[in-house]
Chains A and B, each alone.
Chain A
Amino acid sequence: MTALAASPAMLNRGITLSDVTIAYGRYAAVHHLDGSFAPGSLTAIAGPNGAGKSTLLKALMGELPLASGTIDRGRLKVSDIGYLPQAADIDRSFPLTVADTVLLGAWHQTGPFRSITQEIADKARRALSAVGLEGFERRRIGTLSAGQFQRVLFARLLLQDAKIILLDEPFTAIDARTSQDLLALIHRWHEDHRTVIAVLHDFEQIKAHFPQTLLLARDVIAWDRTDLAMSGENLLRARAMAEHWDDTAPLCEAGHKHVA
């Protein structure tokens, strides 16, 4: 890692969180989070439902206000981060073609008004073949399966060419074959020294593919190398946290207004 630190790709300093609390009303969804996603790291975020995993990604994208603390994205702007939210947010019956959807990824080059150059079109074609959808350009997205559509969204991410990539449960309701192909893309991003952060539920997948893990249950249970973070003891603690959330929690001592 030290050798890489000098290369231009490493000018981004990753994302540093200090004392980050994100609350819905008075209920803290993420509680006093400290730590950093190192540049070029490949991190899985795991934890029970309601642990604040998606909330944390949204906060990294600047979509949620912080109740306390700061998120330091180094020199990068929010719009430099590639973000794939949970699939349910997009209307797949929309009358767009696969090519239209992928080309949206070139927004930083095209903006709202500039034309799509041959170079961008070629990049889009390469992105489509990289996700295994060669020749699908003219298909309407409404005719794709869930797995194919997820591949299209990955192709859009490829085109975005972002230094930091956030994935929110990218493999939920996706079959094993598609997951394998898309995991291979994630590894390619990792080799390109991009910072990749993915919310995942499949512990085996995390152990096999993600060097770093943030185990979250509102509080950080562990943020470390995956084999250390995903120890049996930590997983038990995460589960215990999930089972003991209650409405009568006292106010947090740190002096702000959310419930601990």
Chain B
Amino acid sequence: MNLYDMLFAPLADFGFMRRALAACVALGLGAGPIGILLMLRRMSLIGDAMSHAVLPGAAIGFLVAGGLSLSAMGLGGLIAGLAVALLSGLVSRSTVLREDASFASFYLSSLAAGVLIVSLRGSNIDLLHVLFGSILAIDAEALYIVAAITSFTLIVLALVYRPLIAECFDPGFLRAVGGRGHLYHLLFLFLVVLNLVAGFQALGTLMAVGLMMLPAAVAQLWTRSMPMLVIIATMIAAVSGYIGLIVSFHFGFASGPSIVLTASTFYGLSLIFSPSGAFRRLLPAPRHLVH
């Protein structure tokens, strides 16, 4: 098998692979900046909790549509995810529980309900598809939905970039100048859920968050400037999507784990070779500036 057969033939020969690749690149474009913001807000694990929380909604959508339908599962997942986000926000404001604790309780209940619903009606294969994704299922409709969600995400992020960053960096200051930080916080949670939903089909509900957090972690190892963080995370996410797809095509692996494990490989390499990584520590320090 030559390089062409390995890397490009699957795309040239199969329409579903081209669609899957387009979907993965689109997913990466949205997941990159969202992941960076989640990490900067110290919400890395909240993203994971959210991806579990959307499961019952996705499962109900899956049953109603009778298969992997991104629109039905997406709508259900969106409703379930937003409900959990709003409820845990409400609980943390009205009780002694902090937001992470209430998130944990809600997402665990939600995950259990989701698995129960799928196991009631679907087969094990169905459950695997919901949890880990299936590239074969990406049809034109799914691609449009993913592309629409990504476009929407990028436009909204561009619009609310300043208040969102201000709310991440110094929420007290934004509150003091009357900046309505909680509104942007909610809008951001909405975008997180929306992007998790977009990742359902290619990655599965459990893996969707992997394409957000791993590239964000990789980017943090390479740079500390905001624009570069977003650019690196987006590139890593998109490239992981491509490589993961090719790997899953040739070896028959589930696409979600393949894509996420590709991102993990980048993470592992960055841990060793990045400027703040293990390898660099063994080298002499670079010359510093005078002041």
Contacts and interface: CB of A to CB of B under 8 A. Distances in A.
Interface residues of B, number: 25
Given A90-B169, A91-B169, A95-B225, A112 B160 contact: yes
B178 A113 contact: no
A94 B179 contact: no
B229 interface: yes
Interface string B85-107: 00000000000000000000000
Given A89-B172, A104-B170, A112-B160, A79 B178 contact: yes
Contacts of B170: 89-90, 104
B281 interface: no
A107 B177 contact: yes
Nearest to A166: B176
Interface in A76-113: 77-79, 81-83, 85, 89-91, 93-97, 100-101, 104, 107-108, 110, 112-113
Interface string A144-170: 000000000000100010000000000
Contacts of A160: 177
A97 B226 CA distance: 9
A97 B169 CA distance: 12
Interface in A107-131: 107-108, 110, 112-113
A229 to B, nearest CB: 28
Interface string B168-191: 111011111111000010000000
Contact of A104 (B160, B173, B225, B229): B173
Given A95-B224, A112-B163, A85 B177 contact: no
A54 to B, nearest CB: 12
Contacts of A79: 176-178
Nearest to B163: A112
A83 B173 CA distance: 8
B229 to A, nearest CB: 6
A48 interface: no
